[in-house]
Chain A
Amino acid sequence: MHLSSGITLLYLLAAVLFIVGLHQLSSPRHARSGNLAAALGMGIAFVATIFVLHHSGFNLLLMSIAILIGLPVGAIAARSVKMTAMPQMVASFNGVGGGAAALVALIEFMRVPAGTSASLVLSISVVFAVVIGAVSFAGSAIAFTKLQEMMRGTPITYPGQQPVNGVVAAAIVVMGVLIVVTHIGVAALWVLLVLALVLGVAFVLPIGGADMPVVISLLNAFTGLAVAGDGFVVGNPVLIVGGTLVGASGSFLTKMMSDAMGRSLNNLLFGAFGKVLVSPDAVGAAQRSVRSGTAEDIGTLLAYSQRVIIVPGYGLAVAQAQHAVRDLADALEKRGVTVDYAIHPVAGRMPGHMNVLLAEANVPYEQLKDMDEINDYFKSADVALVVGANDVVNPAARNSPGSPIYGMPILNADEAKNVIFMKRSMRPGFAGIDNELLYDPKTTMLFGDAKDSLIKLVAAVKAA
């Protein structure tokens, strides 16, 4: 593809805006303008592209219709999605991008005239973009269905899973090499596409729901790389820059996220393979008793505390209780109680997810404390109020080497003088494992919808 110098410069401008945008997205003050800068870059790339299109009336009409379909779908989905469903929304936008990347490479390969062979660079980039794009598409679809709870969130394993996935991966490699070396044509590429879709599904199935954010981040990086591959396929520099930036920064972000969970990426992605997840503790635990209290008792306890640390989790988000928890914090502060929020790096379902939700309820930044910042203060806290969280305060991560979450850094809620758990039921957390802390003598359960319970607590605190 030959580009005039004017178009190339416009693409350069777009690339610069992507870089500036990504950079600004790393600071809370400039993040929003960073996103706008990146969007402006995209607008420029879009307009520049209109000028390089070979004009063919019918195709341009089709293209316009396609854009006019995609535009409202994307905008409406993004506008209407609840903040709690954000992770699966990102997964689906990532998936469609990966799908588009695979299809672009597929078409370009169809254009190689029959009887001639594609250049080495073209076939390698096509195979790369098709495989990575399709894995990202299918993997994101599974991540979406797991997070949306259309499918069991726990790892799905079966005997021989690892060998089966190995065979699929090997078949992809063989097929890819055949396509590059022997020029066996487009039919083989379709087969490759299907194999890659199968691998994408098989790759994400055994990964537990709690690890899904890291997987989405990884697939996000994959899509970036597939897009970069397409840049080589169609010979377009802005695709190479945009895709590679996302591929590199996305890989880095993925590593930061798995570090935050205290696990190697390898363990997280392949940990469930070949492991039979029967937890003997969980069976015995069902018969054990827990202590539950009334909102009045707990409200009084809170009102006469010096220091309360709130540990918000996904359950808080599900109950839309961000505003209620803020009201409780206000009521306690009015009585002179020190209130902080302890934010686990993976609270909610994505790093930073809980901060977004609490910001929505106008909780002041200063009260949101990182795990490292707050963990030493649990000792001096009178009450750790755990609202809809579970895995992030599960001591099994510290003391039970057999546990799937062993090694994950947790909030030291168990060190507080009293622990209040607000939960809907005794159901285990997202990782599907039982929590010893629930049975601890200093723990009191407050069952019910988090929002209703919080409203009752606010009334109880005010009455105390």
Chain B
Amino acid sequence: MNAQLVNEISIFVLAVFLGFEVISKVPTILHTPLMSGSNAIHGVILVGAMVIMATAHGAVQDVVGFLAVVLATINVVGGYVVTDRMLEMFKSRNPRGQKQP
């Protein structure tokens, strides 16, 4: 096993525990936004798609890589925008209620 692989495995194992810890106390109302937000985070596959695309050789790799970048970009952009739209609604607590007598 080379040093890089050992590093990668360490990162992986620590991230597993972190992933469980970091969301342990989520109220139900935030389940959907949380799912959507984490959905956007796995859009980081865009980084992988870009790296692969930049060094693609030949038509097959070009086409597959192109597709991967398109899909990953949709994942990232759509994921964050849609999560922001959901959360925008929690911004103001009770604007209409305050106006009432």
Q: Which of A107, A241, A365 contacts B56 (CB 8 A)?
A: A107
Residues on B with beta carbons closer than 8 Å to the beta carbon of A451: none
Residues on A with beta carbons closer than 8 Å to the beta carbon of B73: 66-67, 69-71, 73-74
Is the contact region of chain A dominated by helix, strand, or loop, or is it mixed? helix
Please, what's the 1-or-0 string for B37-65, where 1 marks a CB less than 8 Å from any CB in chain A? 11111111111111111111100111011
Cα(A230)–Cα(B8), bound, Å: 12
Residues on B with beta carbons closer than 8 Å to the beta carbon of A54: 54-55
Can you list 24 A-B pairs, Cβ within 8 angstroms, ordered by A? A31-B30, A45-B44, A52-B51, A53-B51, A60-B54, A62-B65, A63-B53, A66-B69, A70-B70, A70-B77, A74-B81, A78-B79, A90-B39, A96-B74, A97-B42, A100-B46, A231-B12, A247-B16, A248-B18, A249-B19, A249-B20, A249-B23, A362-B96, A370-B28
Please determine whether B93 and A365 come into contact, CB atoms closer than 8 angstroms: yes
Q: Which of A25, A100, A370 contacts B37 (CB 8 A)?
A: A25
Please determine whether A350 and B64 come into contact, CB atoms closer than 8 angstroms: no
Please determine whether A243 and B82 come into contact, CB atoms closer than 8 angstroms: no
Cα(A87)–Cα(B88), bound, Å: 17
A220 closest partner in B (C-beta): B39
**Taking the nearest CB of chain B, how far is it from the CB of A50, in angstroms?**
8
Residues on B with beta carbons closer than 8 Å to the beta carbon of A226: 45
Residues on A with beta carbons closer than 8 Å to the beta carbon of B78: 73-75, 77-78, 89, 92-93
Please, what's the 1-or-0 string for A88-110, where 1 marks a CB less than 8 Å from any CB in chain B? 01101110110111011011101
Q: Which of A227, A232, A352 contacts B44 (CB 8 A)?
A: A227
Residues on A with beta carbons closer than 8 Å to the beta carbon of B56: 59, 62, 107
Residues on B with beta carbons closer than 8 Å to the beta carbon of A326: 96
B26 closest partner in A (C-beta): A26
Using A28-B90, A227-B45, A234-B52 as known contacts, say yes or no to A241 and B15 having CB atoms under 8 A apart: yes
B97 closest partner in A (C-beta): A364
Residues on A with beta carbons closer than 8 Å to the beta carbon of B36: 86, 90, 93
Is the contact region of chain B dominated by helix, strand, or loop, or is it mixed? helix
Q: Which of A35, A60, A62, A70 contacts B62 (CB 8 A)?
A: A62
**Taking the nearest CB of chain A, how far is it from the CB of B87, in angstroms?**
4
Using A31-B30, A103-B65 as known contacts, say yes or no to A231 and B48 having CB atoms under 8 A apart: yes
Give the interface of B toward A (CB within 8 A): 4-5, 7-8, 11-12, 15-20, 22-57, 60-62, 64-97, 100
Residues on B with beta carbons closer than 8 Å to the beta carbon of A220: 35, 38-39, 42
A237 closest partner in B (C-beta): B11
B74 closest partner in A (C-beta): A74
Cα(A79)–Cα(B11), bound, Å: 35
Cα(A104)–Cα(B35), bound, Å: 23
Please, what's the 1-or-0 string for A121-154, where 1 marks a CB less than 8 Å from any CB in chain B? 1000000000000000000000000000000000
Residues on A with beta carbons closer than 8 Å to the beta carbon of B74: 70, 73-74, 77, 93, 96
Please determine whether B34 and A246 come into contact, CB atoms closer than 8 angstroms: no
- Pick the interface stretch among A161-169, A251-259, A456-464: A251-259
